[in-house]
């Protein structure tokens, strides 16, 4: 195997591993073939726990955040998971008490506060050593470079004040997040004590982690593994660091998860994503693509879509599991009911909100509340009581007829049969028409193509394209298998 030979020779490696090609198995084999001490940096805790059971004891398996927490983050335990509060309240505590006038625009204290917190977040995702002007996001209403520069000058002092506040381990006014101690750890220029480092899901690595990983090059062999076509976390600062990494580049393209028919479907999305690989299915695995009445899993684009699917399946009398998040969703739904009925909530994250309207505004406009937006939309659509009733009917995955998941949550998982839910919209039509007078759709953007690729490659035996069936009119059907 080329990867084993290159690893034994001590080369830094980049392994482009398509869906189902056995990347974790490959890494475990590499690690088992040497007595050297290694570190495996996983994308999330569940992947780290799974890897720990498969790798030899000479390899320590942790997430980057767990590594940073052990080294430095534990000092800030007291401040982690503190209650949420609106950015304007944080801004006021930092000294933002009045609007700023820039040209004809009055920038409110609320907008200034929002931007200050977004600036700190952008700095934490970056590989930069100091918080500077380019971390301040532009304000859309400001039309000229001079106005943007004036706005930056107004934001930057408060952003520095917020970053300084976060360094106090005992108390502070800015809500402390896990990404804060990860950045602090990175700024210490840590030396990871290992002979080799394995970075999994490298396509979703933040620049801050890429910097730490790359800095080990002089004393450790570096191995990146991932799938550039599964880079689906760009919205939170991640970027594909694999393509330009200085190393020996190899590919794993034969999928041991499914047969040729599903590989053909995957390759259609790989083409649209302009990905560097194409998959080959395993001929001995029987696979089918077509309609499916009773799938093992239904994959959705959004949390709202997932909960809607749960409610529909429960109405049909199915035993339904929701992949991750049911307990947290129930606690939030109870808090939503309290807020909507004019009562204070004891929910630790929402205790500072006085009304449902205040939480709606926070989720829609505050950068720190964006992760709550799907939940707020869900409550506004169905109401908290309907959500709670559906959650109470959920079943453990081991007992369920069907598991509902978002495509993001499904990444890294697989099921015998999968149906794609209906919340994957086709591209919008342009003003142009083809020779038959039909509107020509817009191109499929990379982000949507990558998420669709993840979704269609979760099935081992039967795939129902469902909400992605529009690909059949957007692209010619795949060629029949030889």
Q: What is the pLDDT of residues 158-205, one digit of tens each?
A: 999 999 999 999 999 999 999 999 999 999 999 999 999 999 988 888
- The whole-number pLDDT of residue 337 equals 94
Residues 128/172, Cβ–Cβ less than 8 Å = no
Question: β-strand 459-464 against 288-289: which pairing, if any?
Answer: parallel
Question: Residue 328 is inside which H or E element, if any?
Answer: helix 326-340
What does pTM read for this prediction?
0.77
pLDDT in tens, 318-364: 999 999 767 777 888 899 999 999 998 877 677 678 899 988 988 88
- The whole-number pLDDT of residue 481 equals 44
- The whole-number pLDDT of residue 245 equals 87
- CA-CA distance, 56 to 317, in Å (whole number)? 45
Higher pLDDT, 244 or 456: 456
Query: Phi then psi for 170, rounded to 5 degrees?
Result: -100, -40
Alpha carbon distances (Å) from 353 to 175, 383, 390: 15, 18, 25
- The whole-number pLDDT of residue 173 equals 94
- The whole-number pLDDT of residue 478 equals 62
Question: Residue 477 is inside which H or E element, if any?
Answer: none
Residue 235 pLDDT exceeds 60: no
- The whole-number pLDDT of residue 357 equals 92
Higher pLDDT, 364 or 257: 257
- CA-CA distance, 143 to 151, in Å (whole number)? 11
- CA-CA distance, 20 to 279, in Å (whole number)? 9
- The whole-number pLDDT of residue 476 equals 60
Write out the two tokens for 271.
């083409």
Give 26's Cβ-side CA count (13 Å radius).
Answer: 31
pLDDT category of residue 473 using cuts at 50, 70 and 90: confident
- CA-CA distance, 399 to 321, in Å (whole number)? 8
pLDDT category of residue 482 using cuts at 50, 70 and 90: very low
249-274 average pLDDT score: 94
């Amino acid at each position: 195997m080329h990867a084993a030979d290159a690893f034994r020779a001590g080369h830094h490696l980049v392994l482009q591993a398509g869906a189902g090609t056995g990347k974790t198995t490959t890494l475990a084999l590499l690690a088992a073939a040497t007595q050297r001490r290694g570190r495996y940096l996983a994308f999330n805790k569940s992947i780290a726990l799974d890897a720990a059971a498969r790798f030899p004891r000479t390899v320590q398996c942790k997430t980057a955040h767990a590594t940073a927490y052990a080294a430095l983050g534990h000092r800030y335990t007291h401040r982690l998971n503190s209650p949420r509060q609106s950015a304007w309240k944080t801004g006021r505590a930092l000294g933002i008490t009045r609007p700023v006038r820039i040209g004809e625009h009055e920038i409110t204290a609320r907008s200034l506060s929002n931007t200050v917190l977004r600036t700190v977040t952008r700095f934490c995702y970056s590989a930069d050593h100091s918080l500077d002007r380019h971390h301040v996001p532009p304000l859309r209403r400001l039309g000229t470079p001079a106005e943007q520069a004036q706005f930056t000058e107004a934001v930057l002092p408060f952003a520095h004040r917020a970053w300084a506040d976060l360094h106090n381990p005992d108390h502070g006014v800015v809500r402390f997040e896990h990404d804060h101690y990860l950045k602090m750890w990175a700024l210490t220029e840590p030396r990871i004590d290992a002979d080799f480092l394995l970075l999994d899901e490298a396509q979703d690595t933040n620049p801050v982690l890429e910097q730490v990983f790359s800095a080990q090059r002089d004393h450790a062999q570096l191995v990146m593994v991932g799938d550039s076509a599964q880079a689906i976390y760009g919205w939170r600062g991640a970027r594909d660091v694999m393509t330009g990494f200085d190393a020996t580049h190899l590919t794993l393209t034969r999928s041991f998860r499914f047969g040729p028919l599903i590989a053909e479907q995957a390759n259609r999305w790989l083409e649209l994503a302009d990905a560097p690989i194409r998959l080959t299915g395993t001929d001995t695995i029987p696979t089918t693509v077509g309609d499916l009445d009773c799938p093992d899993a239904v994959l959705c684009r959004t949390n709202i879509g997932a909960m809607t699917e749960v409610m529909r399946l429960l109405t049909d009398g199915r035993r339904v599991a929701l992949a991750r998040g049911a307990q947290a969703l129930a606690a939030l739904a109870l808090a939503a009911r309290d807020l909507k009925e004019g009562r204070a909530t004891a929910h630790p994250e929402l205790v500072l909100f006085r009304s449902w309207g205040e939480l709606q505004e926070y989720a829609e406009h505050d950068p720190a509340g964006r992760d709550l937006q799907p939940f707020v939309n869900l409550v506004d659509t169905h109401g908290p009581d309907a959500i709670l009733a559906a959650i109470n009917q959920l079943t453990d995955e081991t007992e369920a007829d069907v598991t509902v998941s978002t495509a993001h949550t499904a990444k890294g998982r697989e099921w015998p049969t999968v149906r794609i839910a209906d919340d994957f919209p086709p591209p919008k039509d342009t003003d142009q028409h083809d020779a038959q007078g039909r509107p020509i759709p817009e191109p499929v953007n990379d982000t949507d193509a990558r998420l669709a690729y993840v979704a269609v490659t979760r099935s081992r035996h039967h795939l129902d394209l469902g909400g992605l069936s529009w690909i059949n009119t957007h692209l010619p059907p795949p060629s029949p298998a030889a």
